[in-house]
Amino acid sequence: MNGINCQDRERIFLDGTAEEWTALERHAADCPACAEEVRAWKSLSVAAGELRDHHENTALWTRIEHSLREQQQHKARFWTRLAVWNGISLGWQTALVGALALVLAVSGAYVIRHGRDRSAEAGASKLLKNSALAEVERTEREYMKAIDQLAVEAKPQLDSSSTPLMASYREKLVVLDSAIDELREQAQQNPSNAHLRYQLLAMYQEKQQTLQDVLETKK
């Protein structure tokens, strides 16, 4: 005897080894009930073959290839755009960044103007106290003075050079000055608004950096 009986059948169907299957088949040769069960079980595997249709379809590959190439090109276009940005001269990049800064400043000013009423109600915590305000204004004046000094130093370089880089620096400074003027005007109307001051500080820092870049170029 091979040690397999009818009780082992289901277990072998579930997870039997090759040896167990052989033993079950040997047992089934003398057991009509197991023979029928094994036949029915196997018949499902044979019937499954009816669902196998592995014929070639080259037309589908053509379609897939086309869509793959399209997707690849789409991906490549993104990187090309990025490469185009890197290929732009520093001057133009600066000009574009300046323009972006202007857009941000204008939209910031708009948001601030329209949100003023709400921010006024937002509580004293957001407003600068009188003593703090005096300190901020004093520091701001000093900062402005330092930047003006920097501007004086950079002026000959900006005026004399006609390179595209200098042109873009000039343009950027004009844009920044205009944004600063607008923000200062806003700040005068609402001196305790901390957000405005931060915005102004950012503009001053940007101007300072630009002037330093101009002077660096000179060196």
Partner 1 sequence: MASVGLTLQWEHRISPVGGEGASRVQSTETDDRSNPTSRATPEDGALAAGCLAGDMRAYEQLYAVQGARMRNLARNLLGTQSDAEDAVQETFLKIQRGIGSFRGQSSFVTWAFRILVNTCYDMRRSKVRRKEHSQDHSEESAPREPRAPGAHPTLRMALERALGQLTEHQRSVFLLYEVEGFRHSEIATMLQISETASKNTLFQAKRNLRGMLEPPRSAEAGGAR
17 binds partner 1 (CB under 8 A): yes
d(CA 50, CA 217): 78
Q: Which amino acid is at 158?
A: L
The rounded radius of gyration (Å) of the Cα atoms in the chain is 39
Nearest to 166 by CA among 104, 201, 131, 210: 210
Return the number of the residue (29 or 152) whose C-beta is nearest partner 1. 29
Backbone φ and ψ for 193, nearest 5 degrees, come out as: -80, 110
Are 165 and 90 in contact, with CB atoms under 8 Å apart? yes
- Report the C-alpha gap between 92 and 163 in whole angstroms: 11
Residue from 57, 86, 131, 160 touching partner 1 (CB under 8 A): that is 57
Q: Among 8, 21, 144, 178, indicate the residue that binds partner 1 (CB under 8 A).
A: 21
Q: Please report how close the Cβ of residue 24 comes to partner 1 at its closest, in angstroms.
A: 9
Given the complex with partner 1, which of 53 and 121 has the nearer CB atom? Answer: 53
Question: Applying CB under 8 A, does 47 fall inside the site for partner 1?
Answer: yes
Q: Which of residues 71-100 bind partner 1 (CB under 8 A)?
A: 71-72
By the rule CB under 8 A, 23 interacts with partner 1? no
- H or E stretch including 2? none
* Interface positions with partner 1 (CB under 8 A): 13-22, 25-26, 28-29, 35, 38-57, 60-61, 63-65, 67-69, 71-72
